[in-house]
Structure 1
C-alpha cells in the first residue's frame, strides 16, 4: 500500500510463533511488504494452535494477515540459497533462531550482509547472542522467572503467580525489535551501512524493572516479594476481595486519591495515615471491601477520582468499550470465506492507512522467481 511510512520496504521474516511475527505485522501495517519463510509441512507451529479459523489457527491468522508465506527446508542447500537470494533483496530480515543457528544454516548476518550490505538484520533471542544461557531453550515464563520479575509478586503462600500475558515475548521481544528496526532503517538512510540488531527478551525485561533497579542503585536493596509499593506492600496499591467473590483493584497512590478513597469507604480516621502501619491498613480495607458486593463499590466509585475499580471480566471490558471485538480491521482465510475482526493495532491510524480486510497466508511452495518482482 503506497503512501504509508514503510511503503517500499521489503521484509523477510524467518521467525515463528509470537515475538517476530507480531513485529513484522506492525511493519506490514505501516506499509512494509512482508514475505514469511516457514518450515516445510506444517509451517509455523502457530498454525497448529486451537481454535482454528480456516486451515490455520485464529492466533496465526491475526498475527500474519497481509503477509505472504512460503515453505523452505533451510537445511537443503538449494532452498537455502533461494532464501539467501530473497534476503539479498530485502531491506529488513528478522530471525528468531537460537544464537549460532542462522550462521550454521548459511543465513546469518555475515552471509546476508555479503549479498545485502545495507540490510537491517534483527535477531530475537531469549538470552542474547552470548553468555552461559545463550543456547538454552525457553519461553515467556522462563524468561520472566530468570529475569527476577516473576518473583516480585507473591500470593499469600509466598508463591509467585502466573503473569496476565506474555510480557517477555511482547514487551521484551516485539516492541524492542520494532523500535530498533525503525531506528536502524533511519541510520541506513543516513550512512548506507547495514545494522545487526540483537534483541534479548530476558535482558529487555530490565526496562519493566526500572523501579527495582533504581532503588537498588540508590539504596543497595533488592525488591522483597510482596512487600514493595507496587507488589503488595502498600494498602494504596492492592487487590481486595468483595463479598460476592469479585475483586477491587486499588491504585490510589497519590495523596488526593487516597484521601478521597478513605472518605468514600469510611475508613477509620486513625488508619488513613498508612505510613508505617501498612499491614493494619491492608487488613482494615480487606475487611471493609468484603462487606459489600462488587456492584456496590462500582456504583460508589462512579465519577470519583480514586484510581480504584472492580476487576472486570472480559465480557464487561467489551461492554465498556475497553476491548474491541468488532473492529473494522478484519481477516479472512486463504481462498476467501467469512471474515472476523482482528487484532486492534497499536499503530496510529494515520500511519497505517484505512481499516481493511486482509487474508492470512496459505503456505506456498517457494517460487523460483522473486515474490518481490
Structure 2
C-alpha cells in the first residue's frame, strides 16, 4: 500500500468515527439532563405559577411528549443545524448565544494555550537539560503541582493576591465599563482593536485578559512540561546527540537545534487533547473570574436547566474537539508513517 493510499484510508476512518463520537455525546447529554431533578418550566414560570400555565408551556416546548419522541425531534433539528431556542433568554436562539459569547472564550483559550506551551516547554527543556539536579527536581514538582491544584482554587488565590491585595489586575469583566469596547467583525477584542488601529483598546484588552489566561495556562503547562522533560531526556541519550557532543557543538545548541525538535513531536498530539482540557478548564476559569464567555454561559444554562442552551453549547464544543482531534491525527499520520499502517 502506497503512502498516499494509506494516509487516505486513515483520514477516512477518522472522519467516519467523528459523527459517531458526536452522536454518543449528544445522546448522553440529552438523557442525563432529563434524568436530573428539576423542571425547566418551574425555572421559567416560577414554582407558584398556575398549573394550567405550566401545562401550556410544556406543550409549547414539547416537554409533554414521550421521551423518545423528544429525542428524535431533537436529532432531527440537529440534522438541520437547528440548535433550538433558549428557555430563559427571551426567545434568543442558541446560535445567537454562541455568536455573542464564543469570541471571549476563543480569546481566553488562545492566550491560555500560548502561555501553557511557552511555560511548559521552557521548564521541561530546562529540567531535562540538567538531569538529577535541583532544576530537574523542580521541573518534576512543577508538573505534579500544576496537575493536582484545582483550577477554581488557583484562580481565587491569584485574584486575592494580584487583584484584591496588590490591585495589579482587574477582575469580573472583559473590558472596563467606562470605555467603549472594540467593534469589529470577529468579536475578538484584541483582533478588532488591531484592525481599527486603536492601541488603547488593544492594550486594555490584553490587560484584562492577562490574569485569567495566566491562571488557565499555567495549570495546563504541566502537561507539556512532563512530556517535553521525559522525551527530551530520552532524546539527549541518542547516538546522534552523542556524536554532536563529540564534534564539540555547544550543549545549548545541541538541546535547542537538535534534540528539542524531536522531543516536541509528541507535543503535537497533546495539543489536540489540550483543546478539550482548555474548554473544560475554561468553564471553571470563566466562572471564577466572571469572564463573559460561552463556558460561563453554559454554567448559567445548567443552573437554570435551560435544555436547548446546554445541549447546543455542548454539541458546539464537541464538534470543535472532534475537528481538532482529526486535524492533529492527520498531522501526526503525515509526520510519522507508522501511525497510518
- Give the TM-score normalised by the residue count of structure 1: 0.20
By percentage of residues, which structure has more helix?
A: 2
**Greater relative CO, 1 or 2 (CA 8 Å, sep 6+):** 2
The TM-score with structure 2 as length reference comes to 0.21
